[in-house]
Amino acid sequence: MRSAKLLTAFRPFGGRKNNTSLDVAQNIISRLREERGSDLDFVDLPVNFATTWQVCRAMIARAKPPAIILLGEKKSGRLTLESTARNLRGKSGGLIPILKKGPQKILSPVASGLYQKLSSSQRKFWELSNDAGTYLCNYAYYRTLLIHRETPCVFIHVPALNPEQHTEIKIFADRILEVIALL
């Protein structure tokens, strides 16, 4: 039996009650279960450098997914396919390497190709970026790409919404499902 693709999203942080990446992921999972049974495994990641990678790595080892889709939240804009993870993380007002002897950057094996496969009507919802930031999004992406270079893996940044914006959350979920189908 073929294993399911893995979808991750981050839990709320900073005293907030929601994280749009988690809201969108939950929408995706619930819809897939209703429509045809889920063909995705899912894990919500803690917003903590000490445990995020441990949780993600354990789920990848258990699920052995044929593709990995990581979701994270950004302030605004369009959905963003991240093509590159960098060996940097923010710490105490500066930047430090994630791994002292790790490569400076790692390219996703699929992000650019996925973007190119989107139709022009689909692309209006998306942008392609080569900067996943220096917070947990980039950290999880870097660590995942470093170990799972042969596995199709992409990080998608989702613009922040209020949890009451159900229509927009569904639209984001629809667009991400289109990308997942291409993996």
Phi–psi pair at 44, nearest 5 degrees:
-95, 130
Q: What's the mean pLDDT when you consider all of the chain?
A: 93
Domain 5-182: which CATH number of 3.10.20.340, 3.40.50.300, 3.30.390.50, 3.40.630.20: 3.40.630.20
- What 3-state DSSP class applies to 70? strand
What's the CA gap between 83 and 98, in Å, rounded? Answer: 18
pLDDT at 1: 45
Q: Which of these, 73, 63, 58, 80, lies nearest to 10 by C-alpha position?
A: 73
pLDDT at 31: 85
| CA 48 to each of CA 54, 68, 86, 112, 133: distance values in angstroms, whole numbers, following the listed order | 10, 20, 18, 28, 16
Give strand ranges (E) for the chain.
Answer: 5-10, 40-45, 68-74, 79-82, 84-86, 89-91, 94-96, 105-107, 126-129, 153-159
Please tell me the total number of residues recorded for the chain in this structure: 183
Total-model pTM: 0.95
Listed by start position, the domains of the chain span: 5-182
Query: Which residue's entry shows tokens 């790595």?
Result: 57
pLDDT tens digits for 31-86? 887 776 667 899 999 999 999 999 999 999 999 999 999 999 999 999 999 999 99
